[in-house]
């Protein structure tokens, strides 16, 4: 499969990506735990069916020491015992923040309260931005049919 557009060759997306990459770096450097960031990025990408981001975040998480068991169970995190309560709260917020049409109004108060119990205000800001950022990245990749499978760890850092 060939991509509809080369997003890295375009002047306009090239300029925009510089800003997006800078925002991504701010998120990476935040106090939101790196493992949580990768799990959330992976889950949002699974929901949206973004193969490029699933490829990237699975490989990045594994390179950072994440176990294959946890990576394989992200899609079924509710039934899995391998995630902390904080990670579960982040994954739940990520799902409701991604499935806004299904959630009929976005993230519910109970979901927000669970996330707020585990994360401070700066971490919550990072989590919200990460969910929004991943939904943006997923949509760019899906609309332009970016092929997956060739991602190398660190390629976009």
pLDDT band with cut points at 50, 70 and 90 for residue 10 = confident
3-class secondary structure, 140: helix
pLDDT of residue 120: 98
Q: How far apart are CA 48 and CA 71, in angstroms?
A: 17
Domain total for the chain?
Answer: 1
- Cβ neighbours for 92, distance < 8 A, ≥ 6 positions apart: 111, 114, 115
Residue 7 lies in a domain: no
Query: For position 66, which CATH number holds?
Result: 1.20.1290.10
Does 52 fall in a domain? yes
Whether 155 is in a domain gets the answer no
Is 21 part of any domain? no
60 in a structural domain: yes
Range of the domain at 49: 32-143
Q: At what angle do helices 121-143 and 51-63 cross, to 10 degrees?
A: 130
**Residue at 114 is within a domain:** yes
d(CA 23, CA 68): 28
Residue 19 CB neighbours (<10 A) = 9
- pTM for this entry: 0.92
């Amino acid at each position: 499969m060939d991509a509809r557009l080369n997003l890295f060759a375009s002047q306009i997306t090239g300029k925009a990506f510089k800003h997006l990459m800078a925002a991504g770096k701010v998120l990476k450097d935040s106090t939101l735990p790196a493992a949580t960031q990768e799990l959330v990025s992976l889950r949002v990408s699974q929901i949206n069916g973004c193969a490029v981001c699933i490829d990237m975040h699975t490989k990045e998480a594994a390179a950072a020491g994440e176990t294959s068991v946890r990576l394989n169970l992200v899609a079924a995190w509710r039934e899995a015992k391998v995630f902390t309560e904080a990670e579960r709260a982040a994954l739940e917020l990520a799902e409701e923040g991604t499935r806004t049409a299904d959630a009929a109004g976005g993230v519910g108060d109970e979901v927000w309260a669970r996330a707020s119990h585990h994360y401070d205000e700066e971490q919550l800001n990072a989590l919200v931005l990460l969910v929004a950022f991943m939904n943006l990245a997923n949509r760019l990749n899906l609309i332009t049919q970016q092929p997956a499978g060739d991602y190398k760890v660190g390629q976009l850092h």
